[in-house]
Structure 1
Amino acid sequence: MTVSVPPRPREVMTALVSPEGRRDPYPLYDALRAHGGLVPVKPGLMAAVGYAECSRALREPRLLVQDAASHDALYPNWRSHSSLRGFTNSVLYTNPPDHSRMRRLMSAAFTPRRVAGLEPAIVRMTDRLLDRMARLGGDGAPVDFMAEFAYRLPVAVIGAMLGVPDDDRIWFRTAVEHVTVALEGVSRASDLAPADRAMDELAAYFTALVGRRRRRPADDLISALVQAHDNDGERFTEDELVGNLVLLLAAGFDTTTHLLGQGLQLAFAHPEWAARLPHDPHLAAGYVEETLRIAPPVHATSRIAGTEVDLLGTRVPAGTKVLVLLAAGNRDPRRFPEPHRFDPARPDVQPLSFGAGAHFCLGAPLARLEARLALPRLLARFPGLAPAGTPTLRDRLVVPGHDELPVTVGRPPAAGDGLGDQRNSRYR
């Protein structure tokens, strides 16, 4: 009798960061989970791959995000990179009490009432972009869904909230594409050169915009944050103000962009659900939650044990880095029966895709709202929407997704045409 031995965790992690592993990480997540929900990889590194373990790690206050102090210990030269400095001045890489102080200020922008009040504007923006897609693809020409819709809608929404003029939003996509490389983790310093340039450009832009709003306030988030800073300088430093504005821009549309892209990819792979989505008003929420579960826009985050922690019965020594693989937790068979099956009718989903605990994503309700409104309207407007070639995937581990997703808007999908024939374990 032959007994199958799962590959060692360290081998799996090496495969996970390879180009092949980044293209389809789900079999590797399963291989890690064969060793348990919280897996020692090597001294000083553990990986949380079970749903319960990921959820607990995100909520454990003794597990800290990588802040300036931990960067000093791990990457002595990190301060020479403006991309790392910028994000470390934001809530993303800050621990209490500074994190609590900044988050209180920023959370006022994402109250349930404020987010719900954006629905009419999101519908108008969606319909304008669908009109644009109809014009671009009216003669049967392929249209890149990512460039013409999935990017433009969330950047318009977060741009309107921040108070960014329409004409200034065109160059944001490239800048954010570069600056978010800094969120993938430091490997080689040379990899951060484009991220540093993008952070410098974004910081200069927001510094100038803050100056204009200081002289002439408007009804937008930047004006509100400037007022909070100026009324009490201890509430926001100037660097924190700019760092959080860059974060709000980057997180405000990068993750939503790829949520929309994954939602459409899944519609092509599962036409039975796509056909129902425009006509069943109760399905949209479940469709978005299942998309977030099975193909989340963010796959991983990390924590560092400030002291020794017992995490659901496993000892995590002080100083240990815990890689929290959200996408692996979302497919834990202990939590989700048939975890690789896409089922928008699945009950009690609660994906981990936007994190949990003190660092739960402030923009999660807005991203969900945009996807719930946009995807049904997209499929209702273009019932013949179909793939128009092979999509191009981002070469990322933390925030994967599509660089390009070409579609045609005017013809019905033909048998054997498109992404339904290109399924891998991402879309099973």
Structure 2
Amino acid sequence: MDAAPFAPWSPAFVADPYPAYAQLRARGRVHWFEPTRQWLVPHHADVSALLRDRRLGRTYLHRFTHEEFGRTPPPAAHEPFHTLNDHGLLDLEAPDHTRIRRLVTKAFTPRTVQALEPAVRRLAAGLVAELVKEGGGDLLADVAEPLPVAVIAEMLGIPEADRGLLRPWSAEICGMYELNPPEETAARAVRASLEFSAYLRELIAQRRKEPGNDLISALIAAHEEDGGRLSEQEMVSTCVLLLNAGHEATVNTTANGWWTLFRHPARLAALRADPGLLSTAVEELMRYDTPLQLFERWVLDDIELDGTVIPRGSEVALLFGSANRDPARFERPDELDLARADNPHISFGAGIHYCLGAPLARIELAASFGELLRQAPTMRVVGEPEWGAGFVIRGLRGLRVEL
């Protein structure tokens, strides 16, 4: 089946991809998209199953060379980005993924995350109080962005004076996750990769001399206890991934979620009247307007989907946004139901690459939404926001509000 409705570089599609997803689901279970040479998979059951299928992988280099897999190696000029990216959990497969995730999990325990909750609430309360004091502002820049960046920076032990560097570095690196990124995007990502890596190597060296009560020190300790089984490059890549993955989705869930609520005033009024809805509301906002719309996998061994053989060497694009609106899995999927109890959305992924930071993201989202509901009960949107150019990591450029 062809993927005619799918137009990821169209501003109209990025603003509302959901009608096109409905067409894709109606047309079949798998679609060839020539511009990126990928197989698009739009149904919830298939996306969920393929995320867990070990015949697919985030990388193929643990089994094949580029040439053996029928792929062209990335340009040499992009090497700093790929070195950084390819040593992170998100783009590794077993046995390296298993080893690194085990070590990171030692330093990123449920107890560690839970212990952060009071600090997250204090940060959220302070950011919202400042927004209220100013009578409004840009919800994206003033609350959605600074909260998760501050939290992950605090976890990593990054000095407060340096934290302004993090979001720009992250944004430039994440530009490479879009479909067919242009060369200027790659050049910015390479520069950010070099700068961020150099910064972290220096910080790791400091923590080796003077360990602190932070995640970098804990990763060094885990590395040394296990006889050097976590390389410095793996530590650098892990820290960058924790920052990038640890705030991009949270930022967009916050801003996209509030824009959704403003467009559903009756639902927003119900949430303001009953803050007990908050936990299911956060899950529903992640489902209804998914922050990460697409996740890619390489086909390591031939698979068959609905009679279509997808051969080894192919790439599949799992459409999270479409899966989260699939009527075969969700009752009234295009309706915003803040009390939705049966909500197996896949916004955090599934399988071995399920988001390690999901519990922390939920704490941050509950804190920021909760404080805005409490401190800014009359908050309203000013004008209609613009969507950013990105489709894979899909979010608003800003969200102006007033009280």
Query: Could you tell me the TM-score, scaled by structure 1's length?
Result: 0.87
Matched to 2:17, the amino acid is: P
Whether 1:22 and 2:22 are equivalent positions in the alignment is: no
What is the aligned partner in structure 1 of residue 127 from structure 2?
129
Greater Cα shift, 181-190 or 392-401: 181-190
What CA deviation, in whole Å up to 9, does each residue of 1:321-359 have, x standing for no partner?
111011110001111122111111222101111100000
Which of 53, 64, 84 is the aligned partner of 2:57? 64
What is the aligned partner in structure 2 of residue 99 from structure 1?
97
Q: CA deviation at 1:114?
A: 2.4
What is the aligned partner in structure 2 of residue 247 from structure 1?
241
Q: Distance in 2 between matches of 1:127 and 1:44?
A: 46
Q: Identify unmatched segments of 5+ residues in structure 1.
A: 1-7, 410-428
What is the aligned partner in structure 1 of residue 274 from structure 2?
280
Distance 1:265 1:308, change over 3 A: same
What is the aligned partner in structure 1 of residue 165 from structure 2?
171
What is the aligned partner in structure 2 of residue 213 from structure 1?
207
Identity over the aligned pairs, expressed in percent? Answer: 37
Q: Distance in 2 between matches of 1:17 and 1:233?
A: 47
Counterpart contact for 1:292–1:353, Cα < 8 Å: yes
Whether 1:375 and 2:369 are equivalent positions in the alignment is: yes
Task: State the secondary structure of the residue aligned to 2:150.
Answer: helix
Whether 1:80 and 2:73 are equivalent positions in the alignment is: no
Counterpart contact for 1:90–1:247, Cα < 8 Å: yes
Q: Distance in 2 between matches of 1:378 and 1:187?
A: 36
Matched to 2:281, the amino acid is: Y
Task: State the secondary structure of the residue aligned to 2:252.
Answer: helix
Q: Distance in 2 between matches of 1:55 and 1:61?
A: 12
What CA deviation, in whole Å up to 9, does each residue of 1:85-128 have, x standing for no partner?
21111011111111111111112344333222222111111111
Which of 6, 28, 36 is the aligned partner of 1:36? 28
Greater Cα shift, 324-333 or 158-167: 158-167
Whether 1:201 and 2:195 are equivalent positions in the alignment is: yes
What CA deviation, in whole Å up to 9, does each residue of 1:385-421 have, x standing for no partner?
0112331321111101112111113xxxxxxxxxxxx
What is the aligned partner in structure 1 of residue 303 from structure 2?
309
Q: CA deviation at 1:229?
A: 2.4
Q: CA deviation at 1:311?
A: 4.8
Task: State the secondary structure of the residue aligned to 1:256.
Answer: helix
Q: Distance in 2 between matches of 1:120 and 1:166?
A: 19
Counterpart contact for 1:44–1:319, Cα < 8 Å: no
Counterpart contact for 1:289–1:350, Cα < 8 Å: no
Counterpart contact for 1:29–1:328, Cα < 8 Å: yes
Counterpart contact for 1:71–1:78, Cα < 8 Å: no
Q: CA deviation at 1:179?
A: 1.1
Q: Distance in 2 between matches of 1:28 and 1:381?
A: 38
Counterpart contact for 1:87–1:244, Cα < 8 Å: no
Matched to 1:59, the amino acid is: R
Q: How does 1:229-244 map to 2 (within 5 A)?
A: 229-232=223-226, 234-244=228-238
Q: Distance in 2 between matches of 1:75 and 1:391?
A: 39
Counterpart contact for 1:23–1:395, Cα < 8 Å: no
Whether 1:296 and 2:293 are equivalent positions in the alignment is: no
Distance 1:252 1:190, change over 3 A: same
Greater Cα shift, 320-329 or 126-135: 126-135
Matched to 2:322, the amino acid is: A
Q: Distance in 1 between matches of 2:288 and 2:295?
A: 17
- Measured on the aligned residues, the alpha-carbon RMSD in Å equals 2.1
Q: Distance in 1 between matches of 2:168 and 2:216?
A: 22
Q: Distance in 1 between matches of 2:336 and 2:330?
A: 11
Query: Could you tell me the TM-score, scaled by structure 2's length?
Result: 0.92
Q: Distance in 2 between matches of 1:16 and 1:190?
A: 19
Aligned length: 397
Distance 1:306 1:67, change over 3 A: closer
